[in-house]
Amino acid sequence: MEGLKYIHSIGVFHRDLKPENLLYSDGKLKIADFGLSKDFGRGTMPHTNYVSTRWYRSPEVMFRSNKYDEQVDIFALGCIMAEMFTGEPLFPGSSEADQLIRMSKLLGNPPSTWYEGNVMA
């Protein structure tokens, strides 16, 4: 969490957080593989609408939005933490459609008042 807080504080978001990109060494957990990271500090949008490993994608990325922020990393972190506690991935979808179904079953359907979500769907 501290590493994520740091990279966000300098205006960078990772966009592909997953267990495979977290490395433990010398008593520290380190964030690795910044191949999909992006500088959001300058407010540059739109972003690429296809990023991150499916099981850790936030709803807005699942809907292929190109307007998102560092919260996609926070969502991925929550998925990783749930997996650490349960020993199982939180949303192990076999496809994008299956992924969205699994997310809706656990989180509920997006509210009808979420205009951007309705436009993306």
- Catalytic residue flag (residue 16): yes
pLDDT tens-digit profile, the chain (121 residues)? 888 999 999 988 898 999 999 999 999 999 999 878 888 766 666 666 666 688 998 888 888 777 788 899 999 999 999 999 999 999 999 998 899 899 999 988 877 776 666 666 5
At residue 111, the pLDDT reads 73
Task: Measure Cα distances from 121 to 19, 24, 67, 88 in Å.
Answer: 29, 38, 14, 28
Quote the pTM value: 0.84
CATH match for 2-120 among 1.10.510.10, 3.10.580.10, 3.30.70.100, 3.30.460.10: 1.10.510.10
Task: Measure Cα distances from 115 to 30, 47, 63, 120 in Å.
Answer: 37, 19, 13, 9
Catalytic one of 16, 39, 69, 73: 16
Domain boundaries, the chain: 2-120
Task: Measure Cα distances from 67 to 42, 46, 57, 102 in Å.
Answer: 14, 5, 14, 23
